[in-house]
Every structure is written in C-alpha cells, then in structure tokens.
Amino acid sequence: MQINGIEIEDTFAEAFDMTATRIIITAAEPIWAQRAAEAMTGFATSVIGCGVEAGIERILDSEQTPDGRPGVAILMFAMSGNELEKQLVKRVGQCVLTCPSTSVFAGLHSLKRIALGSRLRYFGDGYQISKMIGKERYWRIPVMDGEFVCQDSVCRQSAVGGGNFLVLADTIHGALHACDSAVRAIKRLQDCITPFPGGVARSGSKVGSKYKMLGASTNDAFCPTLREQTKSYVLDHTSAALELVIDGLTPEIVGQAMRVGIQAACDVGPSCGVRKITGGHYGGKLGKHHFYLHDLLSSSSCAS
C-alpha cells in the first residue's frame, strides 16, 4: 500500500488497556485556564517514568463549561485507578489550586469514581465549605483571590494507551514537518491526546534492556546511527524516525486518530521527504489492542 508514493508497511501498532479521566479547568480569563492546564500536564508523557500520560484535549468556551466561564478539558491516563487518583490529586493541588481564579469539574460520567476535592479540601484548614448541587458535592476552599471550587470526586473509565505510528523521512526537518501536520489533524478530534512533547517522540522504546533495572530501552531497530550494528528497520536513505503515540477513551477513537494522522503526514510527505509509515509493536505481547495500518486506511475498521 502507498499513499502519495509513501509506503505504508503491512504491520500493526500495539496498544494496551489503561484507565482515564477528563477534568475541566475553568478560570476568569481563558489564558489562566490554559496556564493551569499546561502546568498540570507537564511531565506526563509516559507512565514508564511519569506515572500518568496527560494532555490538553480541547479549549472550551463559556457555553461548554459547568460554571459558564472559559475553560480547558484535560485527559489523563494511568495503569490503575489508584495511580490515576494519586497523580490527579497531586497535579490539581500543585498546579490548579495554585493558579489564580481557577475551578475544577468532572468531565466524564461513569460509575467509577476517584477522589479529588475530598482530598484537597484540607488545604482550607477548617474554613472549607461543602455544597451539594443535585447529587454532586463541591468544595469551596478559601484562597487569596476568593474561593477555589472543586468537585468532590470525578469519574474514570476504561481507556486505551499506546496507539502509534512511525514516520521515516530523509531528514529530521522533513520528519518534523510531517509529524506536525499529523498532530494538528489529530488535535481536531475529541476523546484522545498525543502526550509527548509537541505530540511527537524520538525516544521510541522496546520492551526490556540489557540492563536488569530497566523495563524499557531505546528501540535500536529504528535508530539511524545503529543501522550497521543491529537488525535495522531504518531505510538506507532515511536519517530520522519519529513516533506519534496516541491515548484515547476508546479503541475506535485511537484508530480514527491514527488514520487521520497518517493521512495528514502523507499529504505533506512528498515535499518533506517522507519515505515510509510503519507501526510499533512487540509481537502482540504488550497489549490486546492491535491496529493494523492497512485495515485502518482501507476500511472503516479501527482495531482488532
């Protein structure tokens, strides 16, 4: 299969089960909701070292938020509900409660709940106030610009992490431009994020290492400088391989994000020196979600 003369390898990307939550941050002005969101989603590229994977899903106007103020929707993914709750409380407490004029609300509806305001309320030192609106409890925590309003608990749901594709190009500049186009296309979708810096990772990993203390290490098969030292998948005339990793609330949205991202990369690919698109997998040993590139691009099928 080729798109605009770019080879689409007949392979699959392997993804795994995660749990996720969406929270909505609002503020008096859009820029402050954005600043809180950026701080909260920092150091959240990979569960391997960060505990969670998180990113800004979309910007919300006042008609889309619970309190009628401008806001930002954030998605956060973890390997367990306990880890998700721990990271959420820490990040909201350090990055959102501290940010002027912000409030925090749940952005999902499900039966599974994790604590948030019920843990952060103690910062009020006894001056915090609980308020029920319908069936939901909120906490009003006094701060120096008024009150920090935070929902008592938020919802989480099953999710999928690690959907991916790799872009192989003649130069790093071409690979970056093609990946930027892919990330922009994926950002138009809801229910998914690309958690790495700018949505792109150069440090693709493989399972295991020669060092016992490491569970993952550099994917040497795609490192151009190791072309002569390992079983390489880097084409002779390419010098850069970059990976886009996608987390989503469902397998279907991950598949859709991969499809639109690959198409966008291929649309600009000929002018960027893109030679090949492939997928990262571990022989089916890492996760049960397998996204076959040819199926994604030739039919409405998203995953198997």
Query: In this predicted structure, what is the pLDDT of residue 207?
Result: 85
Q: What is the pLDDT of residue 299?
A: 67
Residue 220, Cβ neighbours under 10 Å: how many?
A: 16
Same domain, 88 and 193: no
pLDDT per residue as tens digits for the range 242-265? 999 999 999 999 999 999 999 999
Instruction: Say what the pLDDT of residue 284 is.
Output: 80
Q: Is residue 304 part of a domain?
A: no
Q: What is the pLDDT of residue 178?
A: 98
Domain identity same for 99 and 179? no
pTM for the model stands at: 0.94
Residues 149 and 179 placed together within one structural domain of the fold: no
- Kindly state whether residue 80 falls inside one of the protein's structural domains: yes
Regarding whether 56 and 27 lie in a shared domain, the answer is: yes
For the chain, how many structural domains are there in total?
Answer: 2
Contact 218, 153 (CB under 8 A): no
Q: Residues 146, 196: one domain?
A: no
Give the pairing type, strands 6-8 and 274-278: parallel
Give me the half-sphere count of Cα atoms (radius 13 Å) on the Cβ side of residue 298. 8
What is the domain-level CATH number for residue 195?
Answer: 3.30.70.520
The whole-number pLDDT of residue 304 equals 44
Tell me which residue range forms the domain holding 113: 18-157
User: pLDDT value at position 303?
Assistant: 47
Query: In the chain, which residues have pLDDT < 50?
Result: 301-304
> Residue 186 is encoded by which pair of tokens?
């994926």
